[in-house]
Each structure stands twice: as C-alpha cells, then as structure tokens.
Chains A and B, each alone.
Chain A
Amino acid sequence: MPAGGGWAAMFPDEVWEHVFSFLAADGDRNAVSLVCRGWYHIERRSRRRIFVGNCYAIAPTVAVRRFPNVRVVSIKGKPHFADFNLVPSDWGGHADAWVAAMAEGWPLLEELHLKRMVVTDECLELLARSFKNFRVLALSFCEGVSTAGLAAIAANCRNLRELDLQETVVEENCVHWLSHFPESSTSLVNLSIASLEEDVNIAVLEHLVSRCTNLKTLKLNYAVPLDRLVNLLCRAPQLANLGTGRFTAEYRPELFSKLESAFASCKSMKSLSGICEAVPEYLPAIYPICDGLTSLNLCDAPVNGASLTKLVSRCKNLQRLWVMDVIEDDGLAAVASSCKLLQELRVFPCDPYGADPVSLTEHGLVTVSTGCPMLQSVLYFCRQMTNDALFAVARSSPNLTCFRLCIIDPHTPDYVTLEPLDAGFSAIVESCKDLRRLSVSGLLTNNVFRSIGASADCLEMLSIAFAGDSDAGLHYILSGCKSLRKLEIRDCPFGDKALLANAAKLETMRSLWMSSCFVSLGACRLLAQKMPLLNVEVMDEKKRGGSWDSQPDDCLVEKLYVYRTVAGQRSDTPPCVWTV
C-alpha cells in the first residue's frame, strides 16, 4: 500500500463508486466513509438512499450538503408513543425544513418516505414543483395535509408511481382531488388511500384505475362500497395488493357471484386488507384468491370467529396474518394447522375497554408458535398469560425477531401461579437469540430486566409499561442490551440514578422515552450538561408559556424524550416542550 493516504488514488473514483454500489446496508456505507478522506468523499457523493431515523438528529441542510446525489430518502419524526396519544400534539416532527432543504439541494429526488411527521400542503406543493423525477410519496402515520395538497401532487408529478397514505390523517376539503390526475397519467403502481374518511369520486377512480395498467397496489377507503369494488377489480385484475373498502351490503346473490368472479379473475393477488365490517355472507367471495395470499389483514373485520376461521383455513400460503381477537383460540388453532408458512402474527383486541369475554387466551399463542415453525414476529393482545405458555413459545419459536405481548390489564400476573411473568419473558430472551424487538407486559419485577440486559444482545427496540420495582430495572437494561437503539418506557418506577449512571449509553442509542416515571428535572439538567450530543426534552402539557428555568430540581418530569443529535437544540419546540 502506498504510504500517506494516497492509496485511495490507486483506482479512479468511478471504480470505488462501483464497488460501493454493492453495499446496500447503510451501516456498511457508513463504515466505508470512515476509512479515509478519499473514501468519505467518494462514498458521500455516490450515496443514493438515506434513512434518517430521527428528523432532529441532523439538520436538513447538513444532510443535503453531505449527500448531494440522494434519490430516495426516509425520515421519521415523532416518537412511537405518539401513536397512543402520549406525545403532545404540537410536539413537532415538521417536514417543512426538510422539504425546503431537499428542494434546494436534491432536484433529482425520486422518493420521499415520511413517518409520523407533520406535513403541510405547502410542503406537498413545493415537492410537486421542485422534483421533476418524483415517483414515490409515502406518508405513513403523518398528519397536517389536506386533499388540496394531494391534488397538487396528482396534478404536477408527471411520473408518479406511488401515492401511499397509510394511516395518515388527511383533512378532506377538496372532493375532486383525484380528478387532478391528468388523462395522460398512467404511471401509478400504488394508490393507497385507506385512511381517507370521506367519499371519493368513484367514477374518476375507476377511470384512473383503468388507464394505469401497471397498478399493483390499490387500497381503497371505507367509502367505496362493495358493488363498486367489483367494477374496480374488473378493471385491474393484475392487482397484487388489495385493500377493499367496506365489505358489507345487504345480501344479494347476483352481487355475491359478481364479487366472487371478480376475485377469481385476480390471479396475482398476494395481499388483502380492508374488508371493513365484513358480513359473513360475503366472505366466501374471497375464497378464490385464498390460496395465493401471503398477507391477510382482517383488523377491520370483527366477524364471528367461525367465519374468520373458514376463511383463514383456506390460506395455505399465508406468511402474514393480522386479525382481531374474535378469531379466538379455536381460530388460531386452525391457523396453526393450515398456515404452515406463517411468519408474522398480529392479534388485536376488538373491544379493549369492554368486559365482553372473548375466548382468546395464551393457548392461541402457544398453538400458533408450536404449529408454525417459521414464526418470526408476534404482536399479541390478550387478557391472561402464564409463564408456562411463554416457556412453550420460547421453545417452539427460537427464531423470533419480534415479540410484543400486551396483556390488557396492567400488572396481571401468571393467572395460574399468581407469580410475576419474569421467568416467561426471561425464557424468551434467552432462547430467541435474534430477538430485535420486544414489548413486555403483565406483572414484572426487576428480575426480568436483569435477564433482558444480560441476554438480549441483538435487541434494538424495547417497550416497557407498568413494570419493574426500582431504578435497578432500568440500570440492567441500559448497562446491558448491547444493540439497544430505542427504549420507550411508561409508568415504571425508574428514575434519576439509572439514567445518570448510564448517560453514555444514551449516546449510542437513537432515543429514549420515559413518561410517568420518577425522573426529576434536576437529573435532566445534569444529563443535558454532561452530554452535549444529546437533546434532553421535557414535556408537560399543563405548562404553556410558563418558564421552565424557574422550576426546582426536585420537580418530577412527566414526559422525557432524550435523543442523540448533531444538530443541537431544535428551534421549533412548542411551549409544552423544553430542551434542557
């Protein structure tokens, strides 16, 4: 090797770029950029995709300057707990600054993926004007846009391939936004508008679907009735991913048979969702595509368990199943015996606050775990659990990468032994060596955190609620869990000591959320002082305009969000948030 750093010049830049183009993972490209100055520059100029896990971790202008040739960008904003209304609604996560910087520096941008961010119509209008090659707009769990903004996108993005509004709240003030797709627009591959609550002009939609012959993904909203679904399917038999609108209507034999034939003509259908408020009479119309389905989302179909079971039993190739607990243990037993390729199971509560007894227990989970050898990802809501059941899951599914268990009543112990569920969760983390995401619930002491800290080497995201006895619990987590990136905690007796003793750990993580714990303002001040690369945000929604500076050290912080950043304090904090 030539001395003095000149070895990068052994080959022209283009050669290195070509070599780097084989590195798909961001981590690998980051590593490459650290080797030497030459590689740093070659790598940054050739990077085409970036992922920003926290929109405040870096200033938009800095990101745009460092990577001038990006085509695809993903940015995440609010903390995950915003999904459950724990984050103040005006907390932030604004996309404006990002879109403005991108409009300046990335004229060739093709794809924008935003999650949990506040996007405005002005952003969308700027986007539509600035990027000639814009192809993909994916807004998931976002808010702030209206259909007027969508109209701007439809009208101006000539080559738009994907418009995906998954779970994004849209203010609906422009009824005819769909009509803004010009006649010449035939490029759509994905149109996902399930989150829109109002009617869309279905005739316009039908015409759009007809002329977009490459359309592969169509997710309709509740407003599209069953008979119009038939027309849409007939115009797009090539669809691979379908989200229906409402799946309920008065039973009419001719509608049923038209629906059934429409499904039968969709030979490429792989994924099905929507099926809102399905009535049992129409479910059999889906049977023709069951064999080919790899993904089925029945979260909006609180049909009786027997009907669900009949449907799911026909889906022999299912890899992902999202369903409500009305499927009950019996239904899950059918899943376990029919869906041998199942990788991901999510079971949601149909009536989480109600007292209606549902026969979904720990047995359903165990049956699926035992029966489905490829199971990797579980999200399970239930009302009772035992350590034995968790032992069984740990034994049968050692390849789990994601295990999220939510026992609906906090502090629920093993209902047979009345012991905490420490042993069960410990078994999970000890057996599932590749576990990357874990949510714990039920009655838990510090012991479970000792196990997690010691065994969960690959764990990247951990969610804890109503668990633990003292600071030691948090200390076990922060001093262990080598790969931890995101930690979110609510209503646990964790406080200052563990936080301050593990301050350095926080800089190796993306973020920490703690709400309704025992963290004092003084500790936050200390943490912020010691760790300049962390933003320590405290929040109290009752405090509007009052000064945080004057609050005493011993006052408890209701909500705390700590994240690493190279951008310093953000300038858009609302009154209820203070960067310490």
Chain B
Amino acid sequence: MEVSVSDFDNLKATELRLGLPGIDAPEKPAPVSPRGSKRALLKANEECWPGTSKSLEADTSNQEAQPMAKAQVIGWPPIRSYRKNSFKARKAEVEAAGLFVKVSMDGAPYLRKIDLKVYKGYKELREALDNMFRCFSTGELSGMEGCNGSEYAITYEDKDGDWMLVGDVPWEMFISSCKRLRIMRRSEATGMPSSP
C-alpha cells in the first residue's frame, strides 16, 4: 500500500549479489568496546552462526550483565508515557500530603478541607468543625452522643460510597475509610437515604 519505489521507466531486474562475509570483506575481529560483559557475548556469537547449536552461556551472561530486576530501562515497557505521567503526578500529589478530606455544610456557600491526621479523636474533630463552620450555624454542631439540642449531624462518606454517621466506629477505622464529610441538617439526617 505504498508509493511504488521503482516506477515503470526504471523497471529493471536488480540482481544483487552479496556473498557471505569472508568472500568480499575481511572477517571482522570481535570488537573491543568499553561496554562491559554484554559486548563480550560477541565472541560467543561468532561460533553461533546458522546451523550450530546455540550456546547457553550467552543467555545467562546476558542476564548477569543487565540488572533488569527493578532498574528502569529507557523506553521499557513500551507504553507512551506523557499523558500517563501527568496523571500519576496528580495522583501522587493527592496521596502525599496527609489525609485531606473535603467538608461541606448544608447551606454554606463554600466547602472546606481538613487534614484528619491532625486530630486525635472525635472530640477534637467536632471542635475543629465547630470553629470552622460557626459562622454558618446558629448553634453548636455537635451531632454525636445523642445530643438532641443540636441542629446538625456530622456525616461522612466511606470507601463504599455510603453515607455514615460520624462516631460509630473506632477513630483509626474512621480516618482510614472516610473520604469526605458533610454536615447536614438534622431534619434531613433522620430520613437519610441509602447510597445510590
């Protein structure tokens, strides 16, 4: 499916004669090169010309010469990396810097982000959220320990996508499964639907 290399006017039988090395050209000596044991294989190769059995030592010394195990080789594996790299960079950014989760509050015009690793337990978390969102609420935020006076409930979304009430599980378990927080009005909290 290519442009024809030889066009009609130049059509001629091109008879190419190329003898085996040793007829036209002098036999080449094994090259000396500072590349280490990989190149020493050439000597083994010279005995391995078609028909003769392969030499196994070629294979094993190849493996020794190239510490492939986990070293990155240029262009290997053969995947185009430019876009995949930028995705990985974004992913790395996100994972590197602590356990930041978004916090939204019903009725608030913007969200906040907090680092869960900073807090030692639920009490501290509750206090921090209280401070952060005080300006948007009329009363205290605390929605845990059955505190009926509060207008809000603090909920979180876990790894499975379900919305859970904060406070039921041990703190360590909570921070490992919490993906985001939502401070919702108590009136909504009682009739919380299951995850879609």
Contact = CB atoms under 8 A, between A and B. Distances in A.
Interface stretch (B26-34, B124-132, B143-151, B166-174): B26-34
A555 B29 CA distance: 11
Contact of A554 (B29, B78, B80): B29
Main secondary structure of the interface of B (DSSP, over half): loop
Interface in A5-64: 25-27, 30, 33-34, 36-37, 40, 50-53, 57-58, 63
B73 interface: yes
A40 B7 contact: yes
Contacts of A415: none
Interface stretch (B49-57, B114-122, B133-141, B183-191): B49-57
A83 B104 CA distance: 44
Nearest to A54: B2
Given A33-B8, A52-B2, A497-B21, A530 B45 contact: no
Contact of B48 (A58, A470, A553, A555): A470
B31 A520 contact: yes
Contact of A27 (B1, B39, B161, B196): B1
A66 B7 contact: yes
A214 to B, nearest CB: 29
Nearest to B111: A250
B42 A504 contact: no
Contacts, number: 178
Nearest to A348: B79
A86 interface: yes
A572 interface: no
B79 A352 contact: yes
Contact of A501 (B20, B42, B104): B20
Contacts of A430: none
A469 B59 contact: yes
Contacts of B102: 250
A497 B49 contact: yes
Given A26-B2, A51-B3, A256-B196, A84 B78 contact: yes
Contact of A349 (B5, B21, B49, B79): B79
Nearest to B42: A518
B33 A495 contact: no
B13 interface: no
A445 interface: yes
Contact of B44 (A195, A410, A470): A470
B41 A518 contact: yes
Contact of A530 (B16, B68, B161): B16
A496 B21 contact: yes
Given A496-B21, A504-B16, A353 B39 contact: no
Contacts of A26: 1-3
Contacts of A476: 50
B96 to A, nearest CB: 15
Interface of A: 25-27, 30, 33-34, 36-37, 40, 50-53, 57-58, 63, 66, 81, 83-86, 167, 169, 195, 197, 250-251, 253, 256, 276-277, 280-281, 300, 302, 348-349, 352-353, 355, 381, 406, 408-411, 443, 445-447, 463, 465-466, 469-472, 475-476, 490-491, 493, 495-497, 500-501, 503-504, 507, 510, 518, 520, 522-523, 526, 530-531, 533, 553-556, 564-566
19 contacts: A26-B3, A33-B4, A51-B2, A57-B2, A57-B3, A57-B5, A63-B3, A169-B82, A250-B104, A250-B180, A349-B77, A445-B54, A493-B45, A495-B42, A497-B49, A503-B18, A510-B2, A526-B25, A565-B5
Interface of B: 1-8, 11, 14, 16, 18, 20-21, 25, 28-29, 31-33, 35, 39, 41-42, 44-45, 48-52, 54-55, 58-59, 62-63, 66, 68-70, 72-80, 82-83, 86-87, 90, 102, 104, 157, 161, 180, 196
